[in-house]
Structure formats: C-alpha cells, structure tokens
Chain A
Amino acid sequence: MNNPQPTSVEDEPDLLLDLAATSLRPDAATYSPFERLEMEPDAEAPAPAAVGTRRRPVLKTPVPWPRMISAALLLAAVILWLLSLRHVRLDEMGDYGLISVLPVTFWVSLGLLTLGFAVTVRQRSVRNGQPLLYVLALITVLHATPTLLYGTLRYSWAWKHVAIIDYLLRHGGTDPSNGPLSAYNQWPGFFAYNAVLLRMAGLNSALSYAAWAPPVFNALMIAPLFLIFRTLTRDRRVVWGAIWLFSCCEWTGQDYFSPQAFAFILFLAVLGIVLNRRNRAAARTRPPTLPAPSGPSRTSVAVWVLLLVPVIAAIGSSHQLTPLMLVLALAVLAFSRQRGPVLLWTLGASVAFMLAWDGTVGLSFIRSNLASIVDSFGSLDANATGPLAGAATASSQQQVIAYVDTGAAVFVALLALAAVLLRKELRRSSAFLLALAPLPLLAANNYGGEIIFRVYLFALPGAAFLAAMLILGPRRARRLQAIAFLLVSALTLAGFVMPYYGKEAENYFSPAEVAATYFMYQTAPHGSMIVGATGDYPGGSLDYEYYNQVSWLEGLTAQDRLAIEHDPVHALQDLLSTSATPAYFILTKSQEAEISIEGLVPPATLKLIEQIPGTAPQFTVIYRNADAVVLELTPSSVTGPQPPLSVKKGVTP
C-alpha cells in the first residue's frame, strides 16, 4: 500500500470533508480515507510522501490545462444543451422517437460531455468536484430533456402509479381486491410514501412532480454508487469512470416514477453500507501497521443492522423483485473471503423480511400468480430471449432498436468478462460477484417478459465497475486510457439513446391526449366500461375502482386477432356490448404509435381502426381533438341487453 497512512486513530477523515479539502492536496488522486480495499492501488499513481513528512505550503498552484479544458467543455456542453431545447417539434416524432426530432446541438452537447469526461479521467490527479459535475450534467441532459420538452408525464405506467396513490388517498387504505393492480396494493411502500408526502405538502396529485423522477432518481444513485465503488478501489478515476459508465448504460427505463426505481436506490444504499462495513471489519483483522483495535462489538453490529432494517423492510414492502435481488447479492457476497457480521445479519434480515411479507400481505397476489411463476421457472431460453422474440412483429425501426439494446447489453457484458479474463485480481472482486448475482433469476422467472432487462439493471453496478477497471485500471498509459474510455463511452451512449429515446412516440403524451382522457373520465358514469385501443394513454387507470377498463389490442389470442383484422368495427362493437353499462372507446396518437411500433395489428387494420370515428354509426364521437378521439357506443348498437345507467360521478380525475 503506497498511500499515506493516517498517523493516528483520530486522524481518519470523513470522506466528504476530504472531498472538500482535496483542492489543497497534491496527492488527491491516490489519497483515500480507507484502510482496506479489494484492489491494489494505482501503480502509476505518484508515490506519496512519507507519513509525517511536512510538505512545504504551496501558495499558488497553477490549474492544470486538462482541468481547464474539461471545465470549458462542460460549460459549452451545458449551454448547447439548453439551446437545443428550443424549437423541438414533438409532433414530428417518427418511429425512432425523440432521436428523430432532437437537434444537432443536443448531440454535440452529448459529445462534448463525453469528450470532457475523458479529458477529466486522463488527469493524473482527479478531484471529485469535476467528475461529479460531469455525471450530474450527463444525467440532466439524458433524463431532464424529456421532462423539460414534454410538459406532461411520460410513460403510461407512471400514470398508473399516480392513480394508485390517488386511490390510497381517496380511500385511506389499500385496495383489498385482487385485481390487475393488486401487486401495487400489496407492495405499497412507494405509493404510501408519496401519499404521505402529498398530504404533508398539500398537493393534489403526484403529477405535479412525478415527471422529474428520472433525473432525481438517477442523481440519488450517485452517492450509493460512490459508496460501493470506493470499497473496491482507491483510484478515483476508476470510481468516477464506473459511475459514468453506469449512467451511460442505464437505458432500461426503470428510473421513472415507480416502485422499482425507489427500491433500486435503497438496494444500492444497503449494498454500499454493507460493503463499507465489511471492509472496515477486514481492516481490523489485518493490523500490521495499526494498533490492535478492539474486535467488532455486538453493539456496533447491532447498530448497523438496526439502521439497515427499515431500509430492508421498505425494499421488501415496495417491490416484488428487488428483495430477491438483494438477497442474491448479499448471498454471493457472503461466500467471499471477507464477510463480516453486518453482511451476514443483513442477509438474514433480508431473507426473513421477504418471506414474512410475501407470506402475509403479499400472499394473495403470490397465490393467484403461482401458476405463471411455476410455469416460467426453469425456462431460461424463453425468459432470456423474450424481448427479441417480441420484436418479430414490431416495425423495422423497432427491430433495429431491439437488436441495438441487446447489443448494448452484450457489449457491457463482454467488457466485464474481458476485465476478469485479463486481470486476475478482479476474479475475486465483489464487483464480479455483484455482476453475477442476479443471473439465476434468468432461469427462475419471466417477470412479464422483462426479466432480462431487470437482471441487466441489477448486474450493471458490478459490470460498470469491471468495465471501468478494464479501461482505467493501472499499468496503462493514461492517454491511451482516455481514448479507450472516450470510445467506450460513445458506444454505450449510442446504445443508451436508441432504446431510451427510440420509443418516445408511444411514451410521450401530448396535452391534447391528456385533455381527451380527462374529458372521458368526467363524462363516463361510474360503472362504465372504458376500452382503450391499448393501455398506452395518459391516466388510463385513474379512478380505476369505478370502471371496467380494458385494453383492446394487447394480449390478443390468435382468434381475437383474426376477428379484428377481418372486421375491426364489429369486433369493437362486440367488446363494448359485453358491458352492462355505457361503454366508451378512446383512441390516441400515442396508442396508434404503440400499435404501429409493436406491430400489434397489421398497418391495414390500424388504418381501418383509425377510420372508425365518424364513419361507423355504431359509435358516437363525444370528443375529438388533434391527438385523440373518444367514442361512446350508440345505445341502439348494443348487441346484448341494455343496462340501466349508473349515477354520474362527481369526481374530477
């Protein structure tokens, strides 16, 4: 270890205080407050001064030119990004979504950020401030752009999550029924938190802030990631490089206003604390240069575990998959040489809480889904190739996107694999274990066809660190490292924007679509049937307990699909007539985009469906604007018995 040792127990600095003081430290690149790390220090780092040696005070240190260039590039990138937000024509989004309408200045801004960060990590002495600003700028550019441009909440699922919070506040409790949204009501942690926050702040709906969730959640991940990575290396270039690569590769779209994003942040926090405590425990067992300290007391272990217990409980009661991922991650770490009592107790608490919650509050959901869980168990091939299989009927552009995101995931996996093949010491690294930990779930569950993306997300912290070690680790020329990092960053960002922005035609809801949805909910009496062409419209689950809501073109059987392709008007009429109440149909621009992008029905059928409003006498147009139309089934067209109207509701959605 060639780093300076604190001269006494009392000299151990706090990290953030240390960050603030780094500008005065000429050895900032290698200075670390930690005694034991898994990786050896950077061999190319400058040798530190001997312990206790007095340095001459430096009155005036010239700012290194790479740091100045890096700062200038950051400033230029931010200015260009702000300029790029003007005059974006969202209504011209094509099959490549936001990619097709963002101006050149946006891409130049992203390029400058990538270049500037490569210049930053090329420096011998990396302070924390500049890479932190770069990562924040990257997160802002990637995730705040849709928020600022749209002005409405993105993703239909985010609207569903807002609807769950509204339900909690309407009824003062969770929904006891076992309907399609029961998973949310049986793992309500995220929604309960937001409901309390809304009432405390006196806000009417989470819509007022939910659109900012992606940039905020991603920013909240930085500190836990730093906490994890700093236990693995003392080289700050690698730490920040790994955080940067994580941000470039996190394109799975699980960072929106959702329980999974909430639970993922808590997951990272638990891992960070556990790894830090494990390293401290390991430092105690190897005291060659330190005075022998006392052993790990039961009190201190209890304190750490008790601090983590509420976090574990919140993870376990907020999301179904994340507790399983946490148990797997802690379990593989428990097999490593260094364990520590905090890790073992945390693992025990995680298993106990997961079983307790699933066996009580979540039991009815698990019972009703047991068959599908058992069916997908062991189907490794079907679970892992779900997205590509689904791409078979999609538009040609979306097939390209499906292959790009698969390629991007494979690229990250190859980088991580190359790291452990080329650098033997990484094979026993916790990063490698963390990257491997989620893989068993590929064989265990399908998770609605999304398991491959979830496994990728949970493996990403470990994989990003391995990739950063491969590129920025010791024993290589820094200029070469910077070029390699630039190339890898550019490739991973290309892999990011395709899946993340490529489907925005279906994820973006115009104000006109929102207005149409609200009109429909204000018009439809309680008990009505509401049929969406698909579920991809804003507010699709608002007041969901009062309506029978159906997504027409999703999850069709082959027979249904044939009937719709043959005669969509009568197929829709038959569906709306099955309800014993008034029935409504909504068709929006984003739904049409989804139908086209995902290939739910052939283009000719979609054209026929688009012609229904105004041409089919079975339906009355009750609302129409540029982006949406709402139809009501004409009473005389009901094929079944005409039901009585229910009382008109007085709730504004």
Chain B
Amino acid sequence: MTMTPTPYTLLTPLPPRLALTASGWLALAATALPDGSPARIAIAFAFMLLCPGAAAVRLGTAVLGRGRDRAMDLLEAGVLTVAVSLAIGALVGEAFFVSHSFTTTRAIVALAVITTAAALCPVPRRRTTQS
C-alpha cells in the first residue's frame, strides 16, 4: 500500500473545528463578564485545560490520517489534549511574563490565535491506494 498526498482537505468534521475556533474568542469575550462570575470561570478553566491541545491534536490527527500504525487512538488523543493545553498555556504565559509584556488581552488573543490556526489549518489528504 502506498500513501499518496492529494490536495488539501479538512478531515475533521467542520462543527467541532468551528467550536474550537470560537473557544478562544469566547474566552476573550468572557472577560467582559464580571470578575469571578461562574460562567467566566467555567469558560476559562475549560479553555485552558482542553482547547489549545484539542486543536493541536485535531491538526496532528488530520496529518497522520487513518492508517493502522499512524492513527491516534482516543486515549492518546485525550492525554495529549490535556498535556498540550497545559503546555501551550504555560508557554504563552511565559513568553509574555519573561519579556515583561503581559496583559490579559494579549495572552488570550495569542492563545485564541494558536487555537484558531490549529483548528482551521488545512492539511494534505492521504489517499490509500493499492500498490
């Protein structure tokens, strides 16, 4: 079997990817809510724990394709989603704090842009053909 790269496609269904895209901007919009309101806390925790990682995993899954030895199983995806979310949140925060340029808006916009890019980035489709 050979894997033949073909034109770009969007393997993951669109609604989850749009939801991921919206999540960061929703977190930004939620900062307009009163400090510490339950909705704002829930959005912030859910976003910081899941969304950047879920978008990165979506992108990785799309590139890997569906081959037996390549595909990511659900447990791997779940572990990576949380780990990459924690990591990206930490790295973005570090970049601003180490450079002494932190503001809440900058940090959330950076995270939202990363999440959006990973969620929407098109990837080459791998088509399996019999050799």
> Which A residues fall within an 8 A CB radius of B?
9, 12, 14-17, 33, 168, 171-174, 188-193, 195-197, 199-204, 208, 220, 223-224, 226-227, 230, 262, 265-266, 269-270, 272-273, 276, 280-281, 283-284, 290-291, 293-294, 296-297, 299-300, 303-304, 306-307, 310-311, 313-314, 317-318, 361
Is B22 part of the contact surface with A, judged by Cβ < 8 Å?
A: no
Given B1, B41, B80, B91, which contacts A202 in the complex, CB threshold below 8 Å?
A: B41
5 nearest A-B residue pairs (beta carbon)? A192-B93, A173-B100, A202-B35, A314-B87, A201-B44
* Cβ–Cβ < 8 Å partners of A173 in chain B: 97-102
A534 to chain B, nearest CB (A): 30
Known: A201-B41, A223-B75. A265 touches B60 (CB 8 A): no
Given A189, A269, A273, A293, which contacts B90 in the complex, CB threshold below 8 Å?
A: A189
Say whether B87 contacts A202, CB under 8 Å: no
Query: DSSP class of B's interface residues: helix, strand, loop or mixed?
Result: helix
A14, A188, A265, A311, most chain B CB atoms within 10 A: A311
Say whether A273 contacts B98, CB under 8 Å: no
Known: A12-B68, A299-B63. A190 touches B101 (CB 8 A): no
Q: How far is the CA of A11 from the CA of B1 in the complex (A)?
A: 17
Known: A173-B102, A202-B40, A294-B67. A192 touches B94 (CB 8 A): yes
> Which B residues fall within an 8 A CB radius of A?
1-3, 27, 30-31, 33-37, 40-41, 43-45, 47-48, 56-57, 60, 63-64, 67-71, 73-76, 78-80, 82-84, 86-94, 96-104, 107-108, 111
* Cβ–Cβ < 8 Å partners of B101 in chain A: 172-173
Q: How far is the CA of A293 from the CA of B60 in the complex (A)?
A: 20
Given contacts A201-B40, A201-B41, 16 further A-B contacts (CB under 8 A): A33-B73, A173-B98, A189-B91, A192-B96, A196-B89, A197-B48, A197-B89, A199-B107, A200-B47, A223-B82, A226-B75, A270-B83, A273-B76, A293-B69, A311-B83, A311-B87
* Cβ–Cβ < 8 Å partners of A291 in chain B: 1
* Cβ–Cβ < 8 Å partners of B40 in chain A: 200-202
Say whether B73 contacts A188, CB under 8 Å: no
Known: A12-B71, A227-B79. A195 touches B97 (CB 8 A): yes
Say whether A16 contacts B78, CB under 8 Å: yes
Say whether B75 contacts A188, CB under 8 Å: no
Given A197, A204, A269, A294, which contacts B83 in the complex, CB threshold below 8 Å?
A: A269
Say whether B60 contacts A307, CB under 8 Å: yes
Say whether B41 contacts A15, CB under 8 Å: no
Known: A197-B48, A317-B90. A281 touches B104 (CB 8 A): no
A205 to chain B, nearest CB (A): 11
B2 to chain A, nearest CB (A): 7
Q: How far is the CA of A203 from the CA of B76 in the complex (A)?
A: 32
Say whether B80 contacts A223, CB under 8 Å: no
Q: How far is the CA of A200 from the CA of B31 in the complex (A)?
A: 6
Say whether B76 contacts A293, CB under 8 Å: no
* Cβ–Cβ < 8 Å partners of B96 in chain A: 172, 192
Say whether B2 contacts A294, CB under 8 Å: yes
* Cβ–Cβ < 8 Å partners of B87 in chain A: 266, 310-311, 313-314
In the complex, the chain B residue whose C-beta lies closest to that of A198 is B44
Given A284, A303, A361, which contacts B64 in the complex, CB threshold below 8 Å?
A: A303
Say whether A310 contacts B84, CB under 8 Å: yes
In the complex, the chain A residue whose C-beta lies closest to that of B98 is A174
Say whether A202 contacts B97, CB under 8 Å: no
Q: How far is the CA of A291 from the CA of B69 in the complex (A)?
A: 12
* Cβ–Cβ < 8 Å partners of B63 in chain A: 299-300, 303
* Cβ–Cβ < 8 Å partners of B99 in chain A: 173
In the complex, the chain B residue whose C-beta lies closest to that of A224 is B79
Q: How far is the CA of A223 from the CA of B75 in the complex (A)?
A: 7
* Cβ–Cβ < 8 Å partners of B86 in chain A: 193, 262, 265-266, 311, 314
Say whether A220 contacts B107, CB under 8 Å: no
Given A16, A190, A283, which contacts B69 in the complex, CB threshold below 8 Å?
A: A283
Say whether A318 contacts B90, CB under 8 Å: yes
* Cβ–Cβ < 8 Å partners of A192 in chain B: 90, 92-94, 96-97
* Cβ–Cβ < 8 Å partners of B94 in chain A: 188-189, 192, 317
Q: How far is the CA of A220 from the CA of B103 in the complex (A)?
A: 29
Q: List 30 interface pairs A-B (beta carbons < 8 Å), by A numbering.
A: A16-B75, A17-B74, A172-B101, A172-B103, A174-B98, A174-B100, A188-B98, A190-B90, A192-B90, A196-B89, A197-B45, A199-B31, A200-B27, A200-B104, A201-B36, A201-B40, A202-B36, A208-B36, A223-B75, A266-B83, A273-B79, A283-B69, A293-B1, A297-B70, A299-B63, A307-B57, A310-B87, A310-B88, A311-B83, A314-B87
A287 to chain B, nearest CB (A): 10
A358 to chain B, nearest CB (A): 15
* Cβ–Cβ < 8 Å partners of A15 in chain B: 73-75
* Cβ–Cβ < 8 Å partners of B75 in chain A: 14-16, 223, 226-227, 230
B70 to chain A, nearest CB (A): 5
* Cβ–Cβ < 8 Å partners of A276 in chain B: 73, 76
Say whether A203 contacts B90, CB under 8 Å: no
* Cβ–Cβ < 8 Å partners of A220 in chain B: 82
A554 to chain B, nearest CB (A): 29
Say whether A223 contacts B79, CB under 8 Å: yes
Q: How far is the CA of A290 from the CA of B68 in the complex (A)?
A: 11
Given A202, A230, A310, which contacts B37 in the complex, CB threshold below 8 Å?
A: A202
Q: How far is the CA of A579 from the CA of B86 in the complex (A)?
A: 42
* Cβ–Cβ < 8 Å partners of A17 in chain B: 74
* Cβ–Cβ < 8 Å partners of B37 in chain A: 202
Q: How far is the CA of A135 from the CA of B83 in the complex (A)?
A: 21
B48, B67, B79, B101, most chain A CB atoms within 10 A: B79
Say whether B35 contacts A313, CB under 8 Å: no
A398 to chain B, nearest CB (A): 35
* Cβ–Cβ < 8 Å partners of B41 in chain A: 201-203
* Cβ–Cβ < 8 Å partners of A199 in chain B: 31, 104, 107
Say whether B74 contacts A14, CB under 8 Å: yes
Say whether B47 contacts A303, CB under 8 Å: no
Say whether A265 contacts B83, CB under 8 Å: yes
Say whether B84 contacts A293, CB under 8 Å: no
* Cβ–Cβ < 8 Å partners of A306 in chain B: 60
B48 to chain A, nearest CB (A): 5
Q: How far is the CA of A226 from the CA of B111 in the complex (A)?
A: 29
* Cβ–Cβ < 8 Å partners of B91 in chain A: 189, 310, 313-314, 317
Say whether A303 contacts B60, CB under 8 Å: yes
In the complex, the chain A residue whose C-beta lies closest to that of B32 is A202
Known: A193-B93, A307-B56, A317-B94. A202 touches B34 (CB 8 A): yes
B32 to chain A, nearest CB (A): 10
In the complex, the chain B residue whose C-beta lies closest to that of A192 is B93
* Cβ–Cβ < 8 Å partners of B56 in chain A: 307, 310
